[in-house]
Amino acid sequence: MRAPPRDQLLERRTRAVAQAPDLTEILRGTLGRRYVRCGKAGCWCRTERGHGPVLYLSVSLGVGRTQQVTLAREAYAVARRYVQNYARLRRSLETISTVNRTLLQLRLLAPPSTTGKPRSRRKRRGAREKPR
């Protein structure tokens, strides 16, 4: 199988960058809803579904640490959009990374641009001058 030409790879990378969401609207986590029981002896929630739904955001903070944030109904739609944006961003980053890896493997990644000036050679610290 032939590799795609450089222009196609660069176009694919450009599309992935354009499809990436606004970075100010990113939220890592999982949205959920649950029904709770209040514990009162005569309450209907003992035999029915429970009170709720209670909407929440759950975020893993490391090994064995999770934070849950209860959300108002109005905030749930915003949080949902932000969590979806996080998933979109991850997909875009994976596409960009794959294209860049392919460009490197095929030796098609352009070298960094130079300004036309030759690089100055600096003396290393502690370097001795040669006697004349």
Helices and strands in the chain, H and E counts = 2, 3
Please give the model's pTM, rounded to 2 decimal places. 0.69
pLDDT digit string, tens, across residues 70-116: 999 999 999 999 999 999 999 999 999 999 999 888 887 766 555 65
Task: Indicate the DSSP class of residue 78.
Answer: H
Report which of 78, 22, 32, 27 is spatially closest to residue 53, judged by C-alpha positions. Answer: 32
Q: How many residues does the chain have?
A: 132
Coil, helix or strand for 51? strand
Instruction: Say whether pLDDT at 17 is over 60.
Output: yes
Instruction: Say whether pLDDT at 129 is over 70.
Output: no
* pLDDT for position 64: 86
Residue 5 banded pLDDT, cuts 50, 70, 90? confident
Within a 13 Å sphere around the CA of 121, how many CA atoms are in the beta-carbon half? 1
Report which of 90, 84, 78, 74 is spatially closest to residue 29, judged by C-alpha positions. Answer: 84
Query: CA separation (Å) from 8 to 1, 4, 106, 122?
Result: 15, 6, 13, 41
Residue 124 banded pLDDT, cuts 50, 70, 90? low
Instruction: Report the interhelical angle of 6-19 vs 73-105 (nearest 10°).
Output: 170
Task: Indicate the DSSP class of residue 15.
Answer: H
Instruction: Name, in order, each residue with C-beta under 8 angstroms of 130's C-beta and a sequence gap of 6 or more.
Output: none
